[in-house]
Amino acid sequence: MKGFVMLIKWCFVSLIFLLPLKMVAQAIDNTTSFRNISSEHYVRLIYENDFFTASDRDYTQGISLEIVSPGLRKFFLSKILWYPQSKTVRFGLSLETDTYTPNLIDKTEIQYGDRPYASDIMLKSFVIATDNIKGTSFSSQLSIGVIGPWAGGKEMQTAIHNWIAYKKPLGWHNQIKNDVVLNYQLNFEKRIAELTNNFLLNGFGTARVGTLNTKAGVGMNLMAGAFHPPFSLPGISQRKKIKLYFYNQAAVNVVGYDATLQGGLFNRSSVYTIPSVQLDRLVFQNRYGFVVSWRRIWAEYFQSFQTREYDSGIEHRSGGIQLCFVL
């Protein structure tokens, strides 16, 4: 009975914290606790698109292909990532691309007051260190790539719209110009409350600096259902059981710079950008989803919501899926 009362208490506290927030991040998050995979060897695909929420604007698509393996410890970028000593340390690489568009993609002219066309593509090297006793997770990641036409956003969106017989995007000639992406990010997550393997509430903080974006944020992650504890050692036996759980992530970010809105840090020749004075410096985020795992397969469906990023912007929604295979 005491445990049940504790669960109700933390659910109530979490709902008070989570419900006022409307939105989620504009970058794929693969190191957080609710996406923990109980293995040191896996590949994962995450696909996010606002088509899932019947819209086609702002952050319109994100794709991430990821591999985690102990052998990546020797990868040259892994050697420059800082992390604390821990019993469980995982090394990974991912290739990510993100696409952004204004509202009326079937118009050729610049849509002043709306989001600029932009796309990026990055190679991410990351490490995740977890401590079951302390209930903590620390991750760091280095992203290297490009923003602009070289990222292929125009070609990708045009091809997808041709496949689904949807309107052709006509304004990509106005997109953010080519520039370098070099970003470094640190994440820390701490267990606040836990009830067996059925309820978990964590607090987290994140800081990101670089040429793509600079921001810092804090928030909370809630997981409820049947799951493998994200701070524990990878459990082979756990793969034999079906796991099903719900999660909700809420956060507030302080934004310093965003190249997808303001243009590249070095190349200032973009024909249309959002001025710095028009950026909303506080952006609220919320993401929720369902995850099911059985044997060596993980699957997720999620929805994301985000408050406006600049004065004339709007709140935005997107959705997505995750498929993961343990090797």
- Written as tens digits, the pLDDT of the chain (327 aa) is 444 334 333 443 343 333 333 333 446 788 999 999 988 999 999 999 887 776 777 888 999 999 999 999 999 999 999 999 887 999 999 999 999 999 999 999 999 999 999 999 999 999 999 998 899 999 999 999 999 999 999 999 999 889 988 889 999 999 999 999 999 999 999 999 999 889 999 999 999 999 999 999 999 999 999 998 888 877 644 555 789 999 999 999 999 999 999 999 999 999 999 999 999 999 999 999 999 999 899 999 999 999 999 999 999 899 999 999 998
The CA distance from 119 to 177, in Å, is 10
Reference 24, options 299, 274, 245, 284; nearest CA is: 284
How many Å apart are CA 153 and CA 117, to the nearest integer?
A: 9
Other Cβ atoms closer than 10 A to 88: 15
Identify whether the C-beta of residue 323 lies closer than 8 Å to the C-beta of residue 293: no
> So what's the pLDDT on residue 235?
61
Q: How far apart are CA 71 and CA 67, in angstroms?
A: 11
Q: What is the DSSP letter of 182?
A: E
- 8 Å CB contact between 315 and 280: no
Q: Are 184 and 214 a contacting pair, CB within 8 Å?
A: no
CA–CA dist 197, 192 (Å, integer): 14
Q: Give the pLDDT of residue 164.
A: 85
d(CA 285, CA 22): 6
Out of 3.40.190.10, 3.80.10.10, 3.40.50.300, 2.40.128.140, which CATH number does the structure's domain 2-326 have?
Answer: 2.40.128.140
pTM score: 0.88
Quote the CA–CA distance of 140 and 62 in Å, as a whole number. Answer: 20
